[in-house]
Amino acid sequence: MTETSLSKQVDKPIAIQGYEGSFHQVAARQFFGKGVAVECCATFRELIKKANDKKLTDGAVMAIENSIAGSILPNYNLLQKADLKIVGEVYLDIKQNLLANPGVKLEDIREVHSHPMAILQCIDYLEKYNWKLVETEDTALSAKHVHQHRSKHIAAIASRLSADLFDLNVLAPNIHTAKNNYTRFLVLQRNALDCIPSDANKASISFSTNHTQGSLARVLTKIADAGINLSKLQSFPKPGTDWKYYFHADLEFKTVEVYKNLMDNILSVVDELKIYGVYASGKLK
């Protein structure tokens, strides 16, 4: 069956990892709209738990990979165990900014607070100044603390959304070194319909094979022969086994029928198959 389109209207919050103002919230707004409420989670495990709770949320937005740092491997295991479906994805250009309270100038700053990854992403800019760099657990939380303590000598590295939420000024925009730093987020929902959206052109699946010679090659040949683009192949350990793996595959196709035919044919060459979701691919912005 095919459904005309995915409804992005949600009644309950969407679970995100991190705090208000985080890039997860930016991604949630990009997919669901600026009015979407969020349920903040300290960890990805908590995110999955709350996404599964129909009393708390209508799903989640979860980071899965970064164009510089690579895949977030633990999240593939969480996805494998979760009873959630991928209904969309967001590619977010990660832009880091130096934020401070109104009236604070560059020459007033003595310390800069942020997540260690954000500090590392901006190190070329930061090394121009003799500032003390303080590592924290979250970029948005750093911005919130600067606001709450009315700091006159402390700045934070965070998103523009954090600046808007916590009434901070952007002293220096886009201070990150790598200018093409994208994070891919998956949009997850419970009880997603088996109907495939009419605009679907991408699917995410996981499978396992036996240890016979050429077992993985046979799967990849099926994918290639179907005329489907394998945009990602990621292996991750199969818990409770000795050196056995699941393979996560992202498949891009021109028509839903091509995808359906592959799913029928691939069953003969895999031991296990799980379909995470069939959806419209995200766009780089």
The pLDDT value recorded for residue 121 is 94
Give a yes or no: residue 2 inside a domain.
no
Alpha helices in the chain (DSSP H): 23-32, 44-51, 73-81, 116-121, 123-126, 139-148, 160-165, 215-225, 256-266
Tokens of 265: 């044919």
CATH code, domain with 265: 3.30.70.260
Give a yes or no: residue 4 inside a domain.
no
The pLDDT value recorded for residue 237 is 87
Nearest Cα to 44, choosing from 79, 71, 20? 79
pLDDT at 1 over 50: no
The pLDDT value recorded for residue 87 is 95
Average pLDDT (265-280) is 94
The pLDDT value recorded for residue 2 is 41
Strands in the chain per DSSP E: 2-3, 14-17, 38-41, 60-66, 70-71, 85-93, 97-100, 111-114, 132-135, 154-158, 169-172, 182-189, 196-197, 202-208, 229-237, 245-252, 272-279
Give a yes or no: residue 71 inside a domain.
yes
- Clarify whether residues 89 and 142 are in a common domain: no
pLDDT at 153 over 50: yes
Nearest Cα to 53, choosing from 84, 27, 90? 84
Q: How far apart are CA 117 and CA 127, in angstroms?
A: 15
- Clarify whether residues 274 and 206 are in a common domain: yes
- Clarify whether residues 163 and 217 are in a common domain: no
The proportion of the chain whose per-residue pLDDT surpasses 90, expressed as a percent, equals 85
- Clarify whether residues 105 and 206 are in a common domain: no
Nearest Cα to 8, choosing from 33, 26, 35? 33
- pLDDT, one tens digit per residue, over 24-81 is 999 999 999 999 999 999 999 999 999 999 999 999 999 999 998 899 999 999 999 8
- Work out the pLDDT band at 192, boundaries 50, 70, 90: low
pLDDT at 3 over 50: no
Note if the pTM is more than 0.95: no
**Domain interval for residue 70:** 12-94+181-189
- Work out the pLDDT band at 90, boundaries 50, 70, 90: very high
Give a yes or no: residue 5 inside a domain.
no
The pLDDT value recorded for residue 84 is 94
- Clarify whether residues 113 and 140 are in a common domain: yes
